[in-house]
Amino acid sequence: MTKGPVFLTGFMGVGKTRVGRVLARQLRRCFLDTDQMIEQRAGKSIAAIFADEGEAHFRQLERDCVLEACQRSDAVVALGGGAITRADNIAAVRCAGILVCLKADVETIFARVSLRSTRPLLAGLDPPAQRAKIESLLRERTPFYDQAHIELYTTQAQTPESTAGQLLALLESYAKN
C-alpha cells in the first residue's frame, strides 16, 4: 500500500491512538505514539512536562520524536494534537509518508475529553471554559489539519475497529491515485 509511515493527526479525543493501534495491527506495522515517546524520554507525564518545563520544552521534545517517527517506514504513528502546528513538523511528516487527519465535531470532542482529566491544555478549566478552549484551539489548528492527504470524520464512529477499516479503505484508494 504505502511505503512510508502513516501519520494520524487531529485534535485530542478524535481517536488517533485507539484507531492507530488497530490500523497498525491491520497493516502489520508497529504502532508509535509521539506523546508516549515523549513521556518515556522525559520520564514523566505530559502534564508534568507542561507544569515543570512549559509548553515550549514539550514542543521541542515532540519535534525530536516526530523526526524519529519519520524514519520508521514500518509504522503507524499517532501524533499529538498540536504536533503539526509547527511548519517543520508538518513538512517532515508530509514528505515521509501519508498524513491522515481524524476529525470530529466540537460536541463529540468535548464529550470524549471531559472523561479524562489528564489533558494539560484543559487542566483547571470548568466545563464551559473547556468547551471554549476546544473551540479556540480547533480554529487555530484547522489550517494545519487541512493539509492532511486524507481526512476521516470520527464523530459517528462505532468502534476503533470500524474506523480503522474505513481508514484502510481510504489509504488503499489514495495509494492507487
Q: What is the Cα–Cα distance from 148 to 129, expressed in whole angstroms?
A: 29
Specify if 84 maps to a domain: yes
CATH number of the domain at 19, please. Answer: 3.40.50.300
Q: Which of 71, 69, 74 is nearest to 1 (CA)?
A: 74
- Torsion, CA 23, CA 99, CA 141, CA 102, rounded to 10: -30
The secondary structure element, H or E, covering residue 177 is none
| Backbone CA torsion sign across 47, 116, 8, 30 | positive
Where residue 104 falls (left for φ over 0; alpha for ψ -120 to 50; beta otherwise) is beta
Specify if 173 maps to a domain: no
Confidence check: pLDDT of 19 > 90: yes
Alpha carbon of 76 to those of 21, 65, 98: distances in Å?
8, 14, 10
Average pLDDT over residues 93-98: 96
**pLDDT above 70 as % of the chain:** 95
Specify if 174 maps to a domain: no
Specify if 130 maps to a domain: yes
Confidence check: pLDDT of 115 > 80: no
Confidence check: pLDDT of 170 > 80: yes
Please list the helix, strand and coil fractions of the chain in percent, rounded to the nearest 5, in that order: 60, 10, 30
Provide the pLDDT for residue 162: 93
Specify if 96 maps to a domain: yes
Alpha carbon of 129 to those of 11, 13, 114, 136: distances in Å?
17, 17, 12, 10
Choice between 111 and 122, residue whose per-residue pLDDT is larger: 111
What is the model's pTM?
A: 0.92
Q: What is the Cα–Cα distance from 12 to 88, expressed in whole angstroms?
A: 21
Provide the pLDDT for residue 116: 64
Specify if 69 maps to a domain: yes
Specify if 151 maps to a domain: yes
Domain span at 102? 6-158
The tally of domains found in the chain comes to 1
Specify if 125 maps to a domain: yes
Query: CB–CB of 133/121 below 8 Å?
Result: yes
pLDDT in tens, 30-80: 999 999 999 999 999 998 998 999 989 999 999 999 999 999 999 999 998
Q: Which of 77, 66, 67 is nearest to 2 (CA)?
A: 77
